[in-house]
């Protein structure tokens, strides 16, 4: 009986693993292909975006929406749903209070609203973006190119298309690593296999690597590799670009040195 | 391989003592074997992964539908155990979505978007009987087939089709309300192990071209809680009216594994079944 009671308690409820958030207290702002859900003013002790800021967010996201399609030379027409959480609730509800994550199958992503962000102008000439292009890039690339077979391709595309990591341009981060901490420069082989590296090291390296691949071999060729699993990627790369992985790695090394 | 053996070992460990103890308690003469027919209304909700970290959070948008399910069952009453074999077929239904504000911004209203079939086997032994209360325990196993087509508003599609095998423990509680009326509660825990599950995902772009295809192997956990009331008829048949809360959580990768590197598919589903069953 004791065993059965323990079994019952252990297995009795999937809510221990995943419960449903039925909370519907959202304001919405829609423009073009973006539908933003954000918290009303005074929702929690952390600030919520103003209506004017919500307008600016959806306008900027539409700039990225077009820019991403231009960069990967594919067309996407579905609406993307953005859920923007206040910072004091984000960790419990979306698992982070410093960024977000995308669910491409549902054409959506979840993000944290941070009122005071680092001032910058990104590669799309957007000033001080509240949300960058990273999560939107995940949605669009996964839907158009398939489910990624490697973290290198998944994050590489998103960071390349965003151009920014942690408020800094990715090329500046990698340049800084090259000068001050060369052990943080990752080779193509390391990007493929050492996927547990610290995010602040892995992401900028993956973004710069993808930018190099696209510039060197053309985005159509690299798009074909997006969904390939790591076991086949080197051979597929050779097949698609007529260049061996080793030749490409040497070329990438020179690219990093000249960056 | 070691992970697979571990899971089966844990299940067997749970189930063997249940079977052994059951041999000692059953004393009633068995009923006659019989058939049952059921008609069910199913509410299906498949939530988005709002929080990927443990404990996960299922959230909006949610993909949903309602459909009718027909069921056929055969019940075998042995001296020690009761066996039930069931076959359920859910009629194809269209899917829509809710962004949290009741609006659908994801999917086209398209028929044949979701359907399911299940083949289930339940084995129960009586655990104890006290006055009007009795408790059975046992195991459940079976196959679940699901076919889901997400017809996005742009015209692009994602089609998933999977067959999954499950195994798990089961409990059933009965209370004799009256000579002819019985109140029943039941609980099933179902483990879907990736090494024996198979699914395929096809993504089709808005020009109708296949843009991505992959197989996947799901690792899911499902719990079913049910509450029902039955009435025995004079001719020996019975009618049962019940509701089942059916929750599924899990993910699927390209290779069968309990730890998935790149998730291809996931289920964060909440289903509610309202059924009427006639046992001949």
* Interval B224-270: pLDDT, tens: 999 999 999 888 899 999 999 999 999 999 999 888 878 899 999 99
Q: Provide the mean pLDDT of chain B.
A: 88
- From A3, A11, A78, residue closest to B153, measured CB to CB: A78
Query: Any idea how long chain B is?
Result: 280
- Cβ-defined contact of B223 to A14 (cutoff 8 Å): yes
Question: With 0-12 CB in 10 A as exposed, 13-18 as middle and 19+ as buried, what is A257?
Answer: exposed
- Cβ-defined contact of A95 to B51 (cutoff 8 Å): yes
**Which string of b and e fits A79-117 if b means at least 16 CB within 10 Å?**
bbbbbbbbbebbeebbbbbebbbbbbbbbbbbbbbbeee
Read off the pLDDT of residues A48-73 as tens digits, 9 standing for 90 and up.
999 999 999 999 999 999 999 999 99
* Of B15 and A137, the one with more pLDDT: A137
Transcribe A24-89 into DSSP letters: ---EEEEETTEEEEEPPTTSSSSPPPPHHHHHHHHHHHHHHHHHHHHHHT----S-EEEEEEEHHH
Q: What is the pLDDT of residue A4?
A: 57
Enter the DSSP assignment of B254. Answer: S
Q: Which residues of A touch B203 (CB under 8 A)?
A: 143, 146
CA distance B188 to B226: 9
* Of B18 and B166, the one with more pLDDT: B166
Q: How confident is the model at residue B16 (pLDDT cuts 50, 70, 90)?
A: very low
Cis-peptide, bond into residue A144, ω within 30° of zero: no
Percent of chain B residues topping a pLDDT of 90: 74
Read off the tokens for B49: 């992964």
Q: What ipTM describes this predicted complex?
A: 0.90
Q: What is the pLDDT of residue B32?
A: 83
pLDDT at B21 over 60: no
pLDDT at B10 over 50: no
Enter the DSSP assignment of A110. Answer: E
Q: Return the residue of B nearest to A30 by Cα.
A: B105
Q: What is the pLDDT of residue A97?
A: 92
Domain count, chain B: 1
Q: What is the pLDDT of residue B3?
A: 41
Place of tokens 């009718």: B68
Percent of chain B residues topping a pLDDT of 70: 89
- From A8, A14, A154, residue closest to B221, measured CB to CB: A14
CA distance B210 to B159: 11
- Cβ-defined contact of B201 to A17 (cutoff 8 Å): no
Q: What is the pLDDT of residue B4?
A: 42
Query: DSSP 3-state assignment of A22?
Result: coil
CA distance A46 to B87: 52
Question: With 0-12 CB in 10 A as exposed, 13-18 as middle and 19+ as buried, what is B4?
Answer: middle
State pTM to two decimals.
0.89
Question: What is the rounded average pLDDT of the residues B97-111?
Answer: 91
**Residues 182-221, chain A, touching B (beta carbon < 8 A):** 195
pLDDT per residue rounded down to tens, chain A (259 residues): 555 555 555 555 666 777 888 888 999 999 999 999 999 999 999 999 999 999 999 999 999 999 999 999 999 999 999 999 999 999 999 999 999 999 999 999 999 999 888 889 999 999 999 999 999 999 999 999 999 999 999 999 999 999 999 999 999 999 999 999 999 999 999 999 999 999 999 999 999 999 999 999 999 999 999 999 999 999 999 999 999 999 999 999 999 999 8
Task: Give yes or no for a contact between A67 and A133, defined as CB atoms under 8 angstroms apart.
Answer: yes
Question: What is the rounded average pLDDT of the residues B4-20?
Answer: 43
Q: Which residues of A touch B266 (CB under 8 A)?
A: 105
Distances from the Cα of B136 to the Cα of A9, A46, B26, B86, B277, angstroms: 17, 52, 10, 18, 20
Read off the pLDDT of residues B69-88 as tens digits, 9 standing for 90 and up.
999 999 999 888 999 999 99
Q: Which residues of B touch A145 (CB under 8 A)?
A: 211-212
Distances from the Cα of B73 to the Cα of A127, A194, A229, B34, B61, angstroms: 64, 52, 43, 8, 36
Q: What is the pLDDT of residue A12?
A: 57
Task: Give yes or no for a contact between B275 and B39, defined as CB atoms under 8 angstroms apart.
Answer: yes
Read off the pLDDT of residues B130-143 as tens digits, 9 standing for 90 and up.
889 999 999 999 99
Q: Is 1.25.10 the CATH number for A25-145?
A: no
pLDDT at B157 over 70: yes
Task: Give yes or no for a contact between B255 and B269, defined as CB atoms under 8 angstroms apart.
Answer: no
**Residues 97-156, chain A, touching B (beta carbon < 8 A):** 101, 103, 105-108, 110, 143-151, 154
Residue of B11, B56, B57, B207 to mutate, interface with A, max A Cβ within 10 Å: B57
Query: Any idea how long chain A is?
Result: 259
- From A23, A92, A103, residue closest to B49, measured CB to CB: A103
Provide the domain limits for residue B55: 2-279
Question: Domain ranges in chain A?
Answer: 25-145, 151-258
Task: Give the CATH number, domain containing residue B7.
Answer: 2.40.128.100
What residues does B274 pair with on adjacent strands?
B41, B243
Transcribe B172-189 into DSSP letters: EEEEE-SSSEEEEEEEEE
pLDDT at B93 over 80: yes
pLDDT at B154 over 80: yes
């Amino acid at each position: 009986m004791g065993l059965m009671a323990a079994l019952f308690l252990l297995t009795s409820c999937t809510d221990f693993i995943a419960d449903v958030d039925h909370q519907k207290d959202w304001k919405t702002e829609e423009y073009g292909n973006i539908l933003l859900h954000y918290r009303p003013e005074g929702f929690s002790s952390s600030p919520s975006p103003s209506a004017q800021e919500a307008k600016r967010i959806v306008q900027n996201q539409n700039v990225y929406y077009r820019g991403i399609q231009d960069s990967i030379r594919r067309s996407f027409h579905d609406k993307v749903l953005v859920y923007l959480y206040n910072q004091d609730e984000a960790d419990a509800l979306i698992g982070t209070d410093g960024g977000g994550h995308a669910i491409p199958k549902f054409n959506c992503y979840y993000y944290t609203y941070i009122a005071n962000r680092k001032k910058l102008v990104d590669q799309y000439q957007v000033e001080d973006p509240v949300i960058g292009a990273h999560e939107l890039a995940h949605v669009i690339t996964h839907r158009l190119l398939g489910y990624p077979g490697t973290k290198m391709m998944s994050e590489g595309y998103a960071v390349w298309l965003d151009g920014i990591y942690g408020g800094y341009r990715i090329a500046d981060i990698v340049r800084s690593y090259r000068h001050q901490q060369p052990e943080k420069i990752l080779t193509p082989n390391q990007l493929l296999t050492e996927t547990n590296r610290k995010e602040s090291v892995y992401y900028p390296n993956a973004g710069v690597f993808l930018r190099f691949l696209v510039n060197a071999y053309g985005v159509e060729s690299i798009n074909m590799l997006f969904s390939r699993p790591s076991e086949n990627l080197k051979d597929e790369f050779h097949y698609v670009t007529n260049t061996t992985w080793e030749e490409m790695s040497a070329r990438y090394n020179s690219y990093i040195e000249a960056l | 391989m070691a992970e697979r053996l571990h899971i089966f070992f844990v299940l067997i460990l749970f189930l063997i003592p249940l079977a052994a103890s059951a041999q000692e308690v059953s004393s009633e003469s068995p009923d006659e074997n019989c058939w049952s027919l059921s008609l069910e209304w199913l509410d299906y909700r498949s939530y988005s992964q709002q929080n990927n970290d443990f404990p996960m959070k299922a959230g909006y948008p949610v993909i949903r539908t309602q459909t009718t399910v027909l069921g056929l069952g055969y019940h075998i009453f042995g001296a020690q155990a009761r066996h039930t074999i069931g076959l359920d077929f859910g009629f194809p239904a269209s899917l829509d979505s809710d962004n949290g504000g009741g609006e659908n911004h994801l999917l086209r209203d398209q028929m044949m978007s979701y359907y399911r079939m299940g083949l289930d086997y339940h084995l129960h032994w009586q655990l104890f009987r006290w006055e009007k209360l009795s408790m059975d325990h046992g195991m459940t196993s079976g196959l679940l087939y699901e076919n889901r087509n997400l017809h996005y508003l742009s015209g692009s599609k994602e089609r998933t089709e999977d067959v999954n095998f499950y195994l798990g423990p089961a409990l059933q509680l009965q209370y004799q309300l009256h000579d002819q009326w019985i109140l029943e509660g039941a609980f099933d825990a179902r483990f879907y192990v990736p090494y024996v599950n198979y699914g395929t995902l096809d993504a089709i772009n808005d020009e109708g071209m296949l843009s991505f295809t992959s197989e996947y192997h799901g690792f899911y956990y499902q719990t079913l809680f049910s509450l029902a009331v039955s009435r025995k008829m004079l001719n020996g048949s019975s009618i049962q009216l019940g509701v089942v809360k059916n929750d599924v959580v899990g993910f699927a990768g390209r290779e069968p594994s309990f730890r998935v590197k790149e998730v291809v598919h996931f289920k964060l589903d909440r289903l509610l079944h309202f059924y009427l069953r006639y046992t001949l």
